[in-house]
């Protein structure tokens, strides 16, 4: 075989189709080439790629669920395996990365980083505590509502970071049990983040996949989030009210008030006001997306660019402190899920859902909502949403079924289901880890006993509202 014949035949197999993973290995003719293939080689390759893609996906999920390896490392290993087995080419990998979701997340990180550097969140927490006069029940209500509200306009992971830090400091001074407050804030962060496009990572991913606007999320999920927040708060208060009543808060009050000084806001007032103005303008443009026609990712990136340019001398450090590991995790996760999509697994799952739910939209809403709510309790809701967003897109294409209500069931299920266990949502893992570092230990079982109950109660609320909205 001369060089021209070799290069012309390099990618051809017995059926005349292109090989997928042997294109860099020089082919040597053997006696096997003269034997007829019982099963077409392309079908064998497809079956093999499907099996390998599924195996990589499952192993990656196990690593994420067990935290045997850090999340970014686990997903990067999955990407390396996908490339090594030739399931996706580098070009295909890039095409599966949702740059809109990553850009949106990056933009919000810059804005939050600037406000954190200006001590805005610490000031807000201490101000609310003083306003409540440090009364246990008032603190529980105020901190829960504040966490839920902030999680609607900021990433919920960021919200729990500063809320848990402030809460533990205040409860230590007041000699209160910090666990009810930490529990309530973690649950509120997931519930509050459900309400808007930017509050929860799965919502960002759904928005970039469907084109739903900020107001679409608020209109379809806002009421669910609000009622679920009150249900969660009522349950936590009922469960821990004896603990809070038993605390001698009044005697500790006089001793602790002088110690809770307001953070110094004079160190960088310029950064504070620029950061607040940028955040307000960003949220306003999110709400006006249908009018101005600017996509949320473009708004967030523009806001981040302006802030980096005019924010002052601290902005380079804020840029360095961006959670690059989180962005890399998202990108790697999109690729791992993309391998499933390319090998046909999403089509298979979509057909299974269609066969199970049938053409009954009402029944389908309940199936999708409860399935994802229960699964999100044990599988982190970010990879779960990433895996099933393509399924719903495929379901609408192959069946002609109106999947619009299913998108909101998916968002509600992944958002509320993340409250079930510690590993259900990234905000849970971060908040509980932060609390542990400050001496407040909350076990997996301890969290699940509360989280599962809240999951069931809030999912019932969501199911009722979605059925009334899309059935009546």
Which tens digits make up the pLDDT trace of 274-295? Answer: 888 998 888 888 778 777 777 7
Of 66, 87, 108, the position where a domain reaches its end is 87
Q: Which tokens sit at 383?
A: 């990879």
Phi first, then psi: give them for residue 400, nearest 5 degrees: 75, 5
> Could you list the residue range(s) of the whole structural domain that residue 162 is in?
99-470
92 within some domain? no
Question: Do 347 and 372 fall within a single domain?
Answer: yes
Question: Could you tell me how far CA 362 lies from the centroid of its own chain?
Answer: 26
Q: Is there a contact between 351 and 398 (Cβ–Cβ < 8 Å)?
A: yes
Q: What is the pLDDT of residue 115?
A: 83
Question: Do 228 and 295 fall within a single domain?
Answer: yes
Number of domains in the chain: 2
How far is it, in rounded angstroms, from Cα 206 to Cα 308? 28
Q: What is the pLDDT of residue 211?
A: 86
9 within some domain? yes
Q: What is the pLDDT of residue 456?
A: 96
Question: Do 170 and 310 fall within a single domain?
Answer: yes
Instruction: Please name the residue that has the structure tokens 């090998």.
Output: 343
Positions of the chain with pLDDT lower than 70, given as ranges: 1-47, 244-267, 346-347, 350-351, 353-354, 357-359, 380, 398-400, 472
pTM of the model: 0.70
153 within some domain? yes
Question: Do 38 and 134 fall within a single domain?
Answer: no
Question: Do 57 and 174 fall within a single domain?
Answer: no
Burial classification of residue 365, based on how many CB atoms lie within 10 Å of its CB (0-12 exposed, 13-18 middle, 19 or more buried): buried
Q: What is the pLDDT of residue 272?
A: 86
Question: Do 80 and 103 fall within a single domain?
Answer: no
How far is it, in rounded angstroms, from Cα 207 to Cα 411? 10
How far is it, in rounded angstroms, from Cα 136 to Cα 148? 18
């Amino acid at each position: 075989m001369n060089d021209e014949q070799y290069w012309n035949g390099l990618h051809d197999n017995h059926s005349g189709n292109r090989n997928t993973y042997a294109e860099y290995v020089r082919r040597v003719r053997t006696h096997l080439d003269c034997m007829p293939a019982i099963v077409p080689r392309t079908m064998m390759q497809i079956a093999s790629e499907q099996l390998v893609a599924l195996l990589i996906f499952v192993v990656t999920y196990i690593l994420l669920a067990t935290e045997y390896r850090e999340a970014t490392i686990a997903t990067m290993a999955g990407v390396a395996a996908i490339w090594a087995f030739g399931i996706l080419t580098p070009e295909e990998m890039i095409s599966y990365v949702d740059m809109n979701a990553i850009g949106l997340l990056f933009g919000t990180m810059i804005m939050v980083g600037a406000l954190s550097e200006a001590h805005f969140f610490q000031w807000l927490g201490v101000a609310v505590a003083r306003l409540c006069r440090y009364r246990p029940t008032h603190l529980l209500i105020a901190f829960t509502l504040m966490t839920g509200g902030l999680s609607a306009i900021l990433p919920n992971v960021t919200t729990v970071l500063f809320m848990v830090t402030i809460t533990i400091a205040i409860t230590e001074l007041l000699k209160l049990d910090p666990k009810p407050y930490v529990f309530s804030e973690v649950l509120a962060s997931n519930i509050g983040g459900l309400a808007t496009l930017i509050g929860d990572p799965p919502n960002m991913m759904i928005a970039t996949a469907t084109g739903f606007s900020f107001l679409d999320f608020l209109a379809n999920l806002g009421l669910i989030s609000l009622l679920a927040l009150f249900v969660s708060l009522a349950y936590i208060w009922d469960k821990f009210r004896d603990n809070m009543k038993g605390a001698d808060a009044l005697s500790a009050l006089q001793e602790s008030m002088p110690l809770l000084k307001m953070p110094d806001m004079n160190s960088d007032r310029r950064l504070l006001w620029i950061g607040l103005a940028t955040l307000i303008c960003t949220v306003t443009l999110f709400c006006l997306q249908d009018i101005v026609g600017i996509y949320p990712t473009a708004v967030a990136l523009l806001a981040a660019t302006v802030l980096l340019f005019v924010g002052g001398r601290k902005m380079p450090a804020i840029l360095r402190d961006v959670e690059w590991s989180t962005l890399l995790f998202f990108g790697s996760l999109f690729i791992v899920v993309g391998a499933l999509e390319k090998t046909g697994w999403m089509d298979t799952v979509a057909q299974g859902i269609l066969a199970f739910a049938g053409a009954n939209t009402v029944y389908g809403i309940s199936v999708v909502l409860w399935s994802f709510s229960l699964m999100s309790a044990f599988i982190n809701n970010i990879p779960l949403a990433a895996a099933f967003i393509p399924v719903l897109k495929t379901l609408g294409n192959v069946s002609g079924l109106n999947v619009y209500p299913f998108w909101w069931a998916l968002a509600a299920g992944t958002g509320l289901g993340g409250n079930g266990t510690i590993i259900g949502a990234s905000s849970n893992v971060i908040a509980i880890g932060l609390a542990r570092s400050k001496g407040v230990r909350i076990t997996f079982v301890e969290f699940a006993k509360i989280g599962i109950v809240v999951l069931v109660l809030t999912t019932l609320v969501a199911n009722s509202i979605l059925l009334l909205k899309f059935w009546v």
